[in-house]
Structure formats: structure tokens, C-alpha cells
Amino acid sequence: MQTVNIHAAKTHLSRLVDAAAAGEEILIARAGRPVARLVPLQEVAAMPRRQLGRLAGRIHVPDDFDAALPDDVVAIFERG
């Protein structure tokens, strides 16, 4: 694992991103103390994709969902 300081990381960002994309992990340090880690994105790419409509038919939104709240409930929020 390679460690670089922030100044060098800014100067060589493109090269470091290429190295990370190739599988290398890079620690970025400030004053010698590691503060960030540049890693390949493949870990995230392996996550399953979200499926739209998974809850179709399982959730019911009532017709009056966006109706005005009763006065006593509005009073609670306006007390502030």
C-alpha cells in the first residue's frame, strides 16, 4: 500500500486514480498521518442494483395523504 502526502496527491491525482483503478490502495496523509484511502471502485460495483417497484401492491397511500392537517396538530408545530 502506497502512502502519499496531500500535496503529492493533488499533483499526481490522475496517476493515483489509475493505480487505484488497477487494484492498488493508496493512503493519503496530512503531515505524515493517514487521513484518507483511495481504493478501487470494484467493491461498490458488486452491490446489487436496486429494483424499481419492489413494494408494488404492498404499500397503500390514502387518497387524503396530502390533505390539510387538523388545527390541533398544526398548533403543535407552530408553538415553537
Q: Would 74 be classed as within a structural domain? A: no
Residue 29: give the domain boundaries: 1-41
Q: Would 20 be classed as within a structural domain? A: yes
Supply the pLDDT for residue 7. 95
Mean pLDDT by 10 residues, the chain (80 residues): 94 95 94 94 69 90 93 89
Supply the pLDDT for residue 45. 56
**For the purposes of burial, counting CB atoms within 10 Å of the CB of 40, is it exposed (0-12), middle (13-18) or buried (19 or more)?**
middle
Q: Would 27 be classed as within a structural domain? A: yes
Which amino acid type is present at position 51? Q
CATH number at residue 1: 3.40.1620.10
Count up the domains in the chain and report the number.
1
Q: Would 57 be classed as within a structural domain? A: no
Long-range contacts of 25-28 (CB under 8 A, 24+ apart): 25/1, 26/1, 26/2, 27/1, 27/2, 27/3, 28/3, 28/4
Q: What pTM, to 2 d.p., does this model score? A: 0.51
Supply the pLDDT for residue 49. 81
Supply the pLDDT for residue 69. 92
